[in-house]
A and B are shown apart, each in its own frame.
Chain A
Amino acid sequence: MDNHGGTKRSCKERPAELVQIGTPAAPAYWKSPEELHKGVHVTGEFPGGLPSAKSGASEASRRDFLAMMGFTLAAAGLAGCRAPVQNAIPLLVGSDQIIPGVSNYYATTCRGCASTCSLLVKQRDGRPIKIEGNAESALFGSGTCATGQATVLSLYDDARLRQPIWHGQPAKWEKIDQQVLDSLGEAENRKARISLLSGTINSPSMREIISKWKARYPNFSHVAYDPISFSAIRTANANSFGRAVVPHYLFDKAQVIAALEADFLGTWLSPVEFARAYAAKRKPEATPSLHVQFESGLSVTGSNADVRVPVAPSEMGAVAAALLRRIAGKAQSANVPDGSDPVASEKLDAIADELWKHRGESLVISGVNDLSVQTTINAINGLLGNIGKTIDLTQPSLQREGDDQAMAALVEAMERGEIHTLILYGVNPAYDYADAERFLNALQKAKLAVSFSDRVDETSLHVHAVCPDHHFLEAWGDAEPVASHFSLAQPLIAPLFETRAAAESLLRWLGDPQPNYYTYLREFWRKNMLPRQTEIKDFDTFWDRSLQDGVVVLASAGATRWPSATRDWEKTLHSVLQAQGPAPASRGDDSYDLHFYESVALRDGRHANNPWLQELPDPISKVTWGNYAAVSPKLAAKLGLEDGDVVRLKTDRGQIELPAFVQPGQETHTISVALGHGRTAVGKAGEHVGVNVFPLTSIKNGARSYSLRNAAVEKTGKQESIASTQTHFSMEGRPIVLETSLAELKNGESNEGKESVPTLWAERLHGEHSWGMAVDMNACTGCSACVVACQAENNVPVVGKDQVERNRIMHWIRIDRYYSGPDENPVSVHQPMMCQHCQNAPCETVCPVAATTTSSEGLNQQAYNRCIGTRYCANNCPYKVRRFNWYNYTDNPEYDFNMASPLGRMVLNPDVVVRSRGVMEKCSMCVQRIQLGKNIALQGERDMADGDVQTACQQACPTQAIVFGDLKDPNSRVSRLRENQRHYEVLEDLGVRPNVGYLKKVRNPIAKA
């Protein structure tokens, strides 16, 4: 891991002598966490595969290739034009250095959302094909979210711009650069304003570039805008604690969690990190944390809560106040706000007791973007002494920096024609701003509007120049999701099109004729990062280590000690509460609250053209392709609504029509609608799917509000289909998801007692392994990352809304969600369901052509080219996990999602065959990964170790709910879990003896609430 600075220098300075680079040196990339620690070993496709086995001996040559690839990709970025890219894949310089069919893993940083998780991306034959979490990351771990998993497909999106656009016409970069520079010069002369409107930017180097702009252009202003805004939290913290930041929440330190309308396991702020920390603290073997959720619509987080309280959005403030009242009472605080309880007082009492009992290790959060609510929350956390314990303001989160007031101000300025040149970076206000119309009109007033959008979207339709940014997998970059937690991004592939990194555009327009962001980034890190650590002196070593790890934690810069008690947040709270005035008057009978939320799949809608996400069933409603108005069963009964009945929602901000969906657990007077749908310009998959409800959001006392009061709802009599993948939500009392209580568990309700179901036949001899899986129902949050991960790993086709309605979705792993209890507020469970790999598989017996059999390693395997499609196996599968290709879903213009276009097919995994029409398919337990693992072991001349093979679903899971391994190895994690007293098999009594087992869900309710 050292003294290969020469490599890099040569890379930078002598691109001509590309071929000579590479004294034996560690590449800035590694194949797997193991490799990082145990050193590199090359893998081949075949056991003892000749080329790989040989090259295993001479790693240097391969490292040269990798190092070189790293360089050439940089070179690609450097010029941003075609010529160097030609050399980027150095097959020309000796193919003995590349091993076909062998994947490399590169650490980089996700840009799917502002959470900027650290990633490890699988690159195969020069193409990134699979996103995985970076286990090196202290924050995010090896897990990912569904959106992150899907971002790799966005790289191969047909709708991406092939080259820059000037006034709607393809243009040359030089031309556009000239135009922009002219316009900037003109603005400077005229003393007219120049503005950069961007999303949250947590890239340190990019921040520096922006500050350079400030220096270069005196009347330059930067406005950060998030469609899902957290600005109230920032303002509240400014008022309460003197720091306009979004704190870093430490769920793994919280013994009691109370969340108000914050879907922190699904979409809120940094779900992967939070899910990981949350699960770590929820292990029933330790003392699991208590989780209380106040929310209006049933969210992923709410479905995992121990206590879930449905509350209308308009009453969230009152709930916060009611909690504060109790806490303040217990704290004998000076001024206790008075008021009435919006929900059952004894519930609130019990919750307050629990919070108080765990002062300093509790956590109260709210996703309501409202100053008064957030200030109240601050007060509660302050009284509970959570600040600095579970809420870190000194090393805050930098994942949401949007400022609603600044945005509003900018729009006004634009309307006044003050903005001469406007640069849009990673934002799409024409779609997701509350007053999109207003923004568009104001946009016309700008002399020059430039967008870095990667496609022609609602906003870039109306700008003068579109300068397409790289996809993040093509770009260099860095990020600082949480203060002093840094992560680097490196390109996985040479830019597919004539795009240019936004940073380079900005540098270019600062006057740098040959901008090179790679160089810039390195220099920036040399200047700013190197000094913040003492471990490594040599920068190149530091850089390569950081690039290789992808993440680095550095001592926090500047003032970190935060004077805790000095600010009197109680006073501010009081003023705010007074300013807020009395609690809202009780509503009329026919007036309802509207609640707008981010859906787990589409989030704020920027990925709307990603078919994987469009077809990802919502973790709760299981609805794909489009949004709906979630109504409570009570309201549905009142209005005589059934799923699919179109309702008209009338609000003072206009009216919309949406199909209704009866959602158990929905607050009775609230109708929830997902944001992020109804894009009008994004690409063929995502256009006009669902309805855009951003226009119904509003700016309330300076903050973006995602709920509305006094909405009227009426039935239109129209019908619109809803493509749900699960239509029946009751377990009908069958032994499918088993639960136990913490008490029972502690009393050791053990597994010994129950004898296994007898079998008629003698045990069949297996090979040296017997692969199995254990799924912890207590850890699974239902986030659905595994579903997309499986889709990416196994080339699962997207089939479209019509086919999903016909119940023909192809996902190999699905997450079943069942309700129990009253449907006003049911208890929910999530159950990942994939092929159970039965040892007495009923599907096998009935196949006439022996197309499905049990392998010598206990896998239930499907031979696609032997299958004739009788579908008998699917009928006879009690788990209904088999999937039939009803049509040819691949390379078929009628199913034009990703597999029908040459670009989209680049994402396919070469290790997994693409299935054709008329054959049955199903979960293979990632047999290709098992094979690879065996080969690695073989070439390392060692036995396979537990954890050598991770299935795609297991790898993607942020909470480690899925464990895969060898049942023959008594010490493997999965074997031990099968001994766990919570272990059981679904439909055990059928005697099919599945190799996939489940761990019972553990319930831990508060006695009183």
Chain B
Amino acid sequence: MSTITVDVHGTGAGATPAPAQVLAPTPLVEGRPTLHQITEDIAYPLEARPGKGWWICFAIAFAALLNLGGMVTYLFAKGVGIWGLSNSVGWAFAITNFVFWIGIGHAGTLISAILLLFRQKWRTSINRSAEAMTIFAVMCAGIFPLIHVGRPWDVFFIFPYFPNQRGPLWINFRSPLVWDVFAISTYFTISLVFWYLGMIPDLATLRDRARGGIKKIVFRILSLGWNGSHRTWSRYEIVSLILAGLATPLVLSVHSIVSMDFATSLLPGWHTTIFPPYFVAGAIYSGFGMVLTLLILTRQTMHLQHYITLEHLDKMAKVTMFTGMIVSYAYITEFFTAWYSGNMYEQYHFINRATGPYAWCFYLMVLCNVITPQLLWTKKARTNVVFLFIVSILVNIGMWFERFVIIVVSQHRSQLPSGWGMFYPTIWDIGILIGSFGLFFTCFLIFIRVLPMIAMWEIKGVVAHGAHKIALNTDEDEREVVNA
């Protein structure tokens, strides 16, 4: 079908395959930049001096990061007793933050991998930064297990290493925490590889722009001598599709496994079979919330409105709304299951969730994750930048509290009433949470300064060449998908 229409403006819009037609009726990039113009625009932030806005953000983020360093050092010196934990509630902020950050990461992989498989061309201008977000989010998540145990020097016990001084004492492969270790490290590695591979051609471009100096050397090393050979390009695209094909089930597995930390235990409120899909949906929901937050900020501060258009925001808002509704559905299912199960512990737990001492967390969660997405039905709302920004913040707050409710509220009243207790966060709990945001934003702010936050070659691909390529080879596109 697509061979007829030829869009001279080369946005690839009119002619993209059916699913894209739904999602991409308008230009992906505003204006008609030449290839060189694209290079110029995207390389600009890397070569110009940072503006005041960037410096302010960076100062705040870095301060928070320093705070994290200080607090974690103190924690390692004293012990996890400085947190508000107790015999009743052994997991609280650290694990909540861990799950929260892992969740954030998922949107990046979704955009870069899943949308690639679905050939969503609109992803091109946001996937690079989304992937970067994934990397940094997983880093933030990764530090929490270390902090959580309070004795990082013993954490290597959790790896099945050899030779093993402790006799043939291996690890317990039945423990979801061990699954976590493998899932998270795999997820981080694959995301990193995917991200880096995608960046090599752009690094080469920057290398060739650089006029000598350290910059040139660094880019030369990083770009591995890329010279744009089409034979390489053609393998390159296949590998991208393969990695996308691997990353897609991976990202689904990661949060499923994280959710099994809870689902496989027998604590009322944790012991639930719907956790895996429910957590994955929640992850994508929160992830898109974070992507929105970041991109709205960067497109303003970096003046990239032409590349990250309202159209992108609109599409992300739609995904947010959709996953938000899945999450809401999961909430309802939980309550129904508890009632329908006739299990007194389950029933008590959910009554307690909605009426107990932590009810306010529950209702805040409902407000942010059930009510808020409903505000995104109108296009007007989805394209109002300020409004979207507020929504995205609410989404993040809501998802953090969702994890808090699941983790803390379930523990604080378990099977034996004699073991019941409360959790009150200390300054150390809160400080370390803030610190993790510091780490995240510091990394991200540095990223947008030193690396191309938009994939130049992909933009060039869709802008300059979209129409032609598609006019000729739609059928072949499909075949590549098959090959992948």
Direct contact of A and B (CB under 8 A): yes
Which listed residue, B158, B265, B413, B417, touches A846 by the CB 8 Å rule?
A: B265
Whether B175 pairs with A846 at a CB distance below 8 angstroms is yes
Residues of B within 8 A of A878 (CB): 266-267, 414-416
B172-205 interface (Cβ within 8 A of A): 172, 174-178, 181
A849 and B84 alpha carbons, distance in the complex (Å): 25
Which listed residue, A732, A847, A987, touches B172 by the CB 8 Å rule?
A: A847
Q: Please tell me which stretch of A60-68, A114-122, A284-292, A867-875 contacts chain B, meaning at least 4 of its Cβ atoms lie within 8 angstroms of it.
A: A867-875
Q: Please tell me which stretch of B73-81, B396-404, B445-453, B466-474 contacts chain A, meaning at least 4 of its Cβ atoms lie within 8 angstroms of it.
A: B73-81
Which listed residue, B79, B151, B175, B411, touches A875 by the CB 8 Å rule?
A: B411
A880 and B267 alpha carbons, distance in the complex (Å): 11
Tell me, yes or no, whether B25 is within 8 Å of chain A by CB: no
Whether A818 pairs with B79 at a CB distance below 8 angstroms is no
Residue of B86, B151, B266, B416 with most partner-chain A CB within 10 A: B416
Which listed residue, B81, B261, B417, touches A732 by the CB 8 Å rule?
A: B417
B57-87 interface (Cβ within 8 A of A): 78-81, 84-87
* Chain A minimum-CB-distance residue to B154: A868
Q: For the side of the interface on A, what is the size category?
A: 35 or more
Residues of A within 8 A of B328 (CB): none
Whether B418 pairs with A833 at a CB distance below 8 angstroms is yes
Whether B91 pairs with A875 at a CB distance below 8 angstroms is yes
Tell me, yes or no, whether B2 is within 8 Å of chain A by CB: no
Tell me, yes or no, whether B380 is within 8 Å of chain A by CB: no
Which listed residue, B145, B151, B265, B416, touches A833 by the CB 8 Å rule?
A: B416
CB distance from B425 to the nearest CB of A (A): 12
Contact A870-B169, Cβ < 8 Å, known A734-B344, A818-B417, A884-B90: no
Tell me, yes or no, whether B53 is within 8 Å of chain A by CB: no
CB distance from A356 to the nearest CB of B (A): 41
Whether B151 pairs with A918 at a CB distance below 8 angstroms is yes
A966 and B151 alpha carbons, distance in the complex (Å): 38
Tell me, yes or no, whether A731 is within 8 Å of chain B by CB: yes
Tell me, yes or no, whether B354 is within 8 Å of chain A by CB: no
* Chain B minimum-CB-distance residue to A987: B415
Residue of A734, A736, A845, A848 with most partner-chain B CB within 10 A: A848
CB distance from B96 to the nearest CB of A (A): 13
A398 and B361 alpha carbons, distance in the complex (Å): 62
Contact A734-B90, Cβ < 8 Å, known A846-B175, A846-B264, A887-B81: no
A533 and B421 alpha carbons, distance in the complex (Å): 60
A736 and B344 alpha carbons, distance in the complex (Å): 13
Contact A850-B169, Cβ < 8 Å, known A732-B348, A807-B88, A918-B150: yes
Tell me, yes or no, whether B157 is within 8 Å of chain A by CB: yes
Which listed residue, A803, A848, A879, A986, touches B175 by the CB 8 Å rule?
A: A848
Whether B266 pairs with A847 at a CB distance below 8 angstroms is no
Residue of B85, B148, B171, B175 with most partner-chain A CB within 10 A: B175
Whether A727 pairs with B150 at a CB distance below 8 angstroms is no
Whether A883 pairs with B87 at a CB distance below 8 angstroms is yes
CB distance from B167 to the nearest CB of A (A): 11
Residue of A726, A871, A917, A987 with most partner-chain B CB within 10 A: A871
* Chain B minimum-CB-distance residue to A833: B418
Whether A880 pairs with B414 at a CB distance below 8 angstroms is yes
CB distance from B84 to the nearest CB of A (A): 7
Q: For the side of the interface on B, what is the size category?
A: 35 or more
Tell me, yes or no, whether B166 is within 8 Å of chain A by CB: yes
Tell me, yes or no, whether A876 is within 8 Å of chain B by CB: yes
Q: Is the interface of B mostly helix, strand, loop or mixed?
A: loop
Residues of A within 8 A of B420 (CB): 727-728
A850 and B81 alpha carbons, distance in the complex (Å): 24
Whether A880 pairs with B181 at a CB distance below 8 angstroms is no
A375 and B271 alpha carbons, distance in the complex (Å): 63
Residues of A within 8 A of B267 (CB): 875-876, 878
Whether A869 pairs with B175 at a CB distance below 8 angstroms is no
Whether B148 pairs with A879 at a CB distance below 8 angstroms is no
Which listed residue, B79, B166, B170, B416, touches A736 by the CB 8 Å rule?
A: B416
Whether B177 pairs with A870 at a CB distance below 8 angstroms is yes
Tell me, yes or no, whether A166 is within 8 Å of chain B by CB: no
Residues of B within 8 A of A869 (CB): 80, 149-151, 154
Residues of A within 8 A of B87 (CB): 807-809, 874, 880, 882-884
Residues of A within 8 A of B411 (CB): 875
Binary interface encoding of chain A residues 870-902 relative to chain B, with 1 for a CB under 8 A from any of its CBs, else 0: 111011101110111111100000000000000
Residues of A within 8 A of B249 (CB): none
CB distance from B147 to the nearest CB of A (A): 11
Tell me, yes or no, whether A733 is within 8 Å of chain B by CB: yes
A803 and B83 alpha carbons, distance in the complex (Å): 12
Residues of A within 8 A of B419 (CB): 879-880
Whether A733 pairs with B344 at a CB distance below 8 angstroms is yes
A868 and B152 alpha carbons, distance in the complex (Å): 8
Tell me, yes or no, whether A211 is within 8 Å of chain B by CB: no
A794 and B173 alpha carbons, distance in the complex (Å): 31
Which listed residue, B157, B265, B418, touches A818 by the CB 8 Å rule?
A: B418
A803 and B148 alpha carbons, distance in the complex (Å): 19
Binary interface encoding of chain A residues 858-870 relative to chain B, with 1 for a CB under 8 A from any of its CBs, else 0: 0000000010111
CB distance from B280 to the nearest CB of A (A): 22
CB distance from A862 to the nearest CB of B (A): 14
Whether A868 pairs with B415 at a CB distance below 8 angstroms is no
A850 and B177 alpha carbons, distance in the complex (Å): 11
Residues of B within 8 A of A884 (CB): 85, 87, 90
CB distance from A843 to the nearest CB of B (A): 10
Whether A868 pairs with B175 at a CB distance below 8 angstroms is no
Whether B158 pairs with A848 at a CB distance below 8 angstroms is yes
Whether A849 pairs with B418 at a CB distance below 8 angstroms is no
Tell me, yes or no, whether A38 is within 8 Å of chain B by CB: no
Contact A876-B169, Cβ < 8 Å, known A809-B87, A848-B181: no
Contact A917-B171, Cβ < 8 Å, known A728-B420, A849-B157, A987-B415: no
A interface with B by C-beta (< 8 Å) = 726-734, 736, 803, 806-809, 814, 816-818, 831, 833, 842, 844-850, 866, 868-872, 874-876, 878-880, 882-888, 917-918, 986-987, 990, 992
10 contacts between A and B (CB under 8 A): A734-B415, A734-B417, A809-B87, A850-B172, A872-B177, A874-B87, A876-B265, A876-B266, A878-B267, A887-B79
The list of the 5 closest CB pairs from A to B, nearest first, reads: A880-B419, A886-B81, A871-B90, A807-B86, A816-B418
B interface with A by C-beta (< 8 Å) = 78-81, 84-88, 90-91, 145, 148-151, 154-155, 157-158, 166, 169-172, 174-178, 181, 261, 264-267, 344-345, 348, 411, 413-422
Extra A-B contacts (4), CB below 8 Å, given A726-B418, A880-B88 = A850-B169, A871-B91, A886-B81, A917-B150
